[in-house]
Amino acid sequence: MVFRALNTVEVVFAIVVAAVIVASPPPPGVIAAYLTTFTMLAAQLVAVRPFLNRRSDKVLAGLNAPRSRGHYAYVGLEAIKVIALVVAGTLLLLDRLPN
């Protein structure tokens, strides 16, 4: 439930950011950083979360599910998202500095 709520908030923010980008396009580097973030979020939602959900359902049902490497994938994608957001924020700040 926690990851579903977190991902829902992330999707809402992604939609808002996409709308802002369409309305007022930032520099290309910022767009690339946001596209990286959106892609990692999509990978988490489509590839990793369903795998982790199936495993957690088995564990909650009392079955002995094998250890999962899916958590490592999820954390890795999350780390890439954080780095991409830091890059986007830095580029936006640098773009606003006076020359």
Domain that holds residue 10: 2-96
Q: What are phi and psi of 67, to 5 degrees?
A: -55, 150
Give the up-direction half-sphere exposure of residue 8: CA atoms within 13 A in the CB hemisphere.
5
Give the rounded percent of residues in the chain with a pLDDT score beyond 90: 66
Tokens of 63: 């079955």
Give pTM, 2 decimals.
Answer: 0.85
Q: Which amino acid, residue 70? A: G
Domains: count for the chain: 1
What would the pLDDT profile of 16-48 be if each residue is shown by its tens digit? Answer: 999 999 999 999 999 999 999 999 999 999 999
pLDDT at 15: 96
88, 37 contact by CB (below 8 A): yes
pLDDT at 26: 94
Mean of the per-residue pLDDT values for the chain? 91
